[in-house]
Structure 1
């Protein structure tokens, strides 16, 4: 079922976290923050929306890191119900794809709840002070990758954040599979 997150709440402060990374480290928001801003992405291993654009996510992450934007991905899905999203499978995906960013496991789902993450992919773009400036889509892709010539919404927005500290006022929400929450 496709889900879209709410629009950007400009200035909302990034919640702290300390989560295990697929490379064995435990990382915090401060560890992954860049000097010009930080992109926190909620993704997972099995979502067709994520898989359709993973090459673009990696490309944009690399390009944003060159601009001083720190980039991190978090998987918060219930791995008991969705074993493809287990920590071991996250480690395998990160290694196989050569992720240019840390991939963190939110087993308790507390971080996803603190961020009010709604779907995979869900993008949170913060300025250098940790204030939210972008909560929009990667590009016009959905379950299938859009034409390669489409506007790179996420990249352009975060490039603007790196240059000015401000995100664009007009943002189109991301769309993807809902976060797979554990039963209450």
Structure 2
């Protein structure tokens, strides 16, 4: 079932974290932070919404990194119920696709809860002062990729954040599969 996160809570401060990466290193928010902002993406391996835009995510992430924006992807799905989202499979995907950013595993799901992550993909774009400025979608894609010339909403929004410190007032929320929470 498709889930849509809430609209951007402008200025909300990024929660800190330290999580293991698929490259064997530990990463904190401070390690990821870029001089012009930081993009925290909640994704996973199996979600068709993520799969349909993964190449676009990789393209935009590389261009945002070149503009001084730190980028990280976090998977918080319950790997017991969704083995494709397990750590070993995350590492395979990151290597096969050549991720230019750390891909972290939130096994306890505490980071996803702290961020209020609702779906995969869910994008959190922060300015240089760690205030939330973007919580929109990548582009007009859904379960299938949108047109090749779709407006690059995430990229444009984060470039605006990098240049001005503020994000666009009008943002269309992302849509995707719900985070696969562990049973209580």
- Shared fold by TM > 0.5? yes
Task: State the superposition RMSD in angstroms.
Answer: 0.3
Q: Distance in 2 between matches of 1:37 and 1:25?
A: 22
- The residue number in structure 2 matching 1:107 is 107
- The residue number in structure 1 matching 2:152 is 152
- Which whole-Å deviations, capped at 9, do the CAs of 1:95-116 have from their partners, x for residues lacking one? 1111011000000000000000
- The residue number in structure 2 matching 1:57 is 57
Q: Runs of 5+ in structure 2 lacking a partner?
A: none
Q: Distance in 1 between matches of 2:97 and 2:156?
A: 24
Q: Distance in 2 between matches of 1:52 and 1:115?
A: 24
Pairing 1:24-35 to 2, within 5 Å after superposition: 24-35=24-35
- Which whole-Å deviations, capped at 9, do the CAs of 1:2-47 have from their partners, x for residues lacking one? 0000000000000000000000100000000100000000000000
Q: Distance in 1 between matches of 2:112 and 2:88?
A: 20
- The residue number in structure 2 matching 1:15 is 15
The answer to whether structure 1 residue 92 and structure 2 residue 92 are counterparts is yes
- The residue number in structure 1 matching 2:135 is 135
Superposition deviation, residue 151 in structure 1: 0.4
Residues matched between the structures, number: 184
The answer to whether structure 1 residue 168 and structure 2 residue 171 are counterparts is no
The answer to whether structure 1 residue 79 and structure 2 residue 79 are counterparts is yes
Q: Runs of 5+ in structure 1 lacking a partner?
A: none
Once superposed, which parts of structure 1, at least 4 consecutive aligned residues long, lie more than 2 Å away?
A: none
- The residue number in structure 1 matching 2:181 is 181
Superposition deviation, residue 162 in structure 1: 0.4
Superposition deviation, residue 81 in structure 1: 0.2
- Which whole-Å deviations, capped at 9, do the CAs of 1:80-126 have from their partners, x for residues lacking one? 00000000100111011110110000000000000000000000000
Q: Distance in 1 between matches of 2:178 and 2:46?
A: 12
- Which whole-Å deviations, capped at 9, do the CAs of 1:147-175 have from their partners, x for residues lacking one? 01110000000000000000000000000
Query: What SS does the corresponding residue of 2:71 show, helix, strand or coil?
Result: strand
